[in-house]
Amino acid sequence: MNLAEILVYTDIRQLHQIAGHYGCECNLNSKNELITTLLGSLRLRQTIQAEVERLTPEEVHFLLLLFLDKRSTFTLEDLLAKAGLALGGSAEKSNEQPRKVIASALRRGWLFPVKGAQSGEFQAPIDLREPYVRVWLESRRGDNTESLPEPKAYRDEGTAACDDIYLFLQFLEKAPIPLTTDGGMYKRYQLQLLRLFHIKEEPISKEKWRFGYGLHFDQYPDRFSLLYDFCFYQGWIEELTGQVSITGRGGEWLVGSYSDETYHDLIRFWMRLYKRAIPNLPMLVQLIPLMAGSSWITQCELREILQPFIKPFYYDDSISILHNRILKMMVHLGLLKVAQVDNEWCYAATYACRSWMREFNGFAETTILLK
């Protein structure tokens, strides 16, 4: 619901709290006057800009987690989880600090109890989400708004990931592949398979310490590990008696016609798979194309703004996670295209990313927020 609709049903005590927070001058005994005044104030760019400027880093983090979530309603548990993540997971077991963050959001008019719903359900006004995110992004980029020149060449992998899933299943259809005692395919089979793919990778060296990004991340290179785990999750392949083979369900998918649903399922699977190691991944996946706008953005600028939201994960530091686990995988999934401009890696959102973003968070045209 939009702010105007929500305010009509809001308890007058919360209206008083919001008016007090923003210093609104009106007749506090008249609900109609309160609503009119708040509508005229809360949606003003000057109000939003002033509010963003005085937010703490933790409040900014909560704001982004809240306003980049497309759900129309949130339970108290949802909000406590977001507040705990924004506080860096250091909140006490009593939930006192997360509850203070939620109370602050209620005073600011970011959250409202849902009328007629079960106790503990809240909603965020739809028409406040995009303006707040846009103002915060503009404040972080500052004067860095000059568009990069269009690169002479770039790489856009499109739906190559789905095409290579098809090739993988075709490869298995010819004969099952034996597995080592560690549960991975022998290197010679990996080499045969990886050479068939549209996007080339090399088998990993056994000396590398790899875990946390999928069932077979310790056996295969990043991209193929994701494709393998996705096929396993979908029930298209199975591991029995020391070999991996295609299932009847996988054979049915092979003869079926391609649909965007498989592509979107793969993106959703990647986000679920990597979210344990990168709790802020859904938020970051949306911020990156928003930051790029309709142009290109450098890896350096992305790192400067996003690194505070990324925590190290065992052997992966925050920079490695951004470069290898997020940006590189978004390129592999066709959400970003990549190029080099003046020896600097740069990224831009793809058409597929725009479609995905509209579905994911409902923003009307997310890729032109910072044109």
Give pLDDT tens digits for 74-91.
Answer: 999 999 999 999 998 654
pLDDT of 366: 39
Average pLDDT over residues 306-327: 95
Residues 276 and 247 placed together within one structural domain of the fold? no
CA distance 277 to 77: 21
Question: Where residue 281 sits, what CATH number does that domain have?
Answer: 1.10.10.10
CA distance 218 to 225: 8
Q: Are 185 and 218 in contact (CB under 8 A)?
A: no
Average pLDDT over residues 14-34: 90
CA distance 113 to 291: 31
pLDDT of 189: 96
| pLDDT-wise least confident of 28-32, 102-106, 133-137 | 28-32
Residues 128 and 169 placed together within one structural domain of the fold? no
Contacts of 93 (CB under 8 A, 6+ apart): none
Q: Tell me: the pLDDT tens digits for 335-364?
A: 999 999 888 999 999 988 888 877 665 544
Residues 228 and 178 placed together within one structural domain of the fold? yes
Q: Is the pLDDT assigned to residue 59 strictly greater than 80?
A: yes
CA distance 179 to 72: 46
Q: Are 223 and 325 in contact (CB under 8 A)?
A: no
Residue 356's alpha-carbon distances to 150, 264, 268, 291, 332, in angstroms, are 23, 8, 10, 16, 15
CA distance 184 to 255: 27
Question: Where residue 179 sits, what CATH number does that domain have?
Answer: 1.10.10
CA angle 68, 339, 205 (to 5 degrees): 90
CA distance 275 to 324: 14
- Confidence tier at 286 by pLDDT (50, 70, 90): very high
For residue 154, tell me if it sits in a domain.
Answer: no
For residue 270, tell me if it sits in a domain.
Answer: yes
Residues 269 and 294 placed together within one structural domain of the fold? yes
Q: Of the candidates 73, 108, 141, which is a domain's last residue?
A: 141
Q: Is the pLDDT assigned to residue 370 strictly greater than 50?
A: no
Residues 267 and 247 placed together within one structural domain of the fold? no
Q: Is the pLDDT assigned to residue 160 strictly greater than 50?
A: yes
For residue 56, tell me if it sits in a domain.
Answer: yes
What ranges in the chain are assigned the alpha helix state H? 3-9, 12-22, 31-42, 45-53, 57-67, 76-86, 96-108, 126-141, 160-174, 187-196, 222-234, 248-255, 260-275, 281-292, 299-306, 318-320, 328-332, 351-361
For residue 304, tell me if it sits in a domain.
Answer: yes
- Confidence tier at 94 by pLDDT (50, 70, 90): low
91: its two tokens: 């909140």
CA 284 to chain centre: 5
Tell me how many domains the chain contains. Answer: 3
pLDDT of 118: 66
Residues 269 and 164 placed together within one structural domain of the fold? no
pLDDT of 365: 40
Residues 27 and 125 placed together within one structural domain of the fold? yes
Residues 12 and 136 placed together within one structural domain of the fold? yes
CA distance 82 to 91: 12
CA-based nearest residue to 18, from 137, 129, 103, 75: 103
Q: Tell me: the pLDDT tens digits for 253-276?
A: 999 877 888 999 999 999 999 999
Q: Is the pLDDT assigned to residue 368 strictly greater than 70?
A: no
Q: Are 267 and 329 in contact (CB under 8 A)?
A: no
Q: Is the pLDDT assigned to residue 145 strictly greater than 80?
A: no
CA-based nearest residue to 273, from 233, 328, 310: 233
Give the residue numbers spanning the domain of 227: 160-258
Residues 208 and 318 placed together within one structural domain of the fold? no
For residue 363, tell me if it sits in a domain.
Answer: yes
Q: Of the candidates 258, 274, 299, which is a domain's last residue?
A: 258
Stated pTM of the model: 0.90
3-state secondary structure of 46: helix
Q: Are 130 and 3 in contact (CB under 8 A)?
A: no
For residue 155, tell me if it sits in a domain.
Answer: no
344-349: strand order across its sheet: 297-298, 344-349, 336-341
Residues 87 and 8 placed together within one structural domain of the fold? yes
Residue 117's alpha-carbon distances to 9, 29, 35, in angstroms, are 12, 26, 22
Q: Which residue has the higher pLDDT, 27 or 326?
A: 326
CA angle 267, 223, 352 (to 5 degrees): 35
Q: Of the candidates 201, 230, 258, which is a domain's last residue?
A: 258
Give percent of the chain above pLDDT 70: 92
- One-letter amino acid of 115: K
pLDDT of 187: 95
Residues 28 and 119 placed together within one structural domain of the fold? yes
CA angle 226, 231, 236 (to 5 degrees): 175
For residue 153, tell me if it sits in a domain.
Answer: no
For residue 148, tell me if it sits in a domain.
Answer: no
Residue 221's alpha-carbon distances to 254, 266, 273, 281, in angstroms, are 24, 17, 15, 20
Residues 270 and 232 placed together within one structural domain of the fold? no
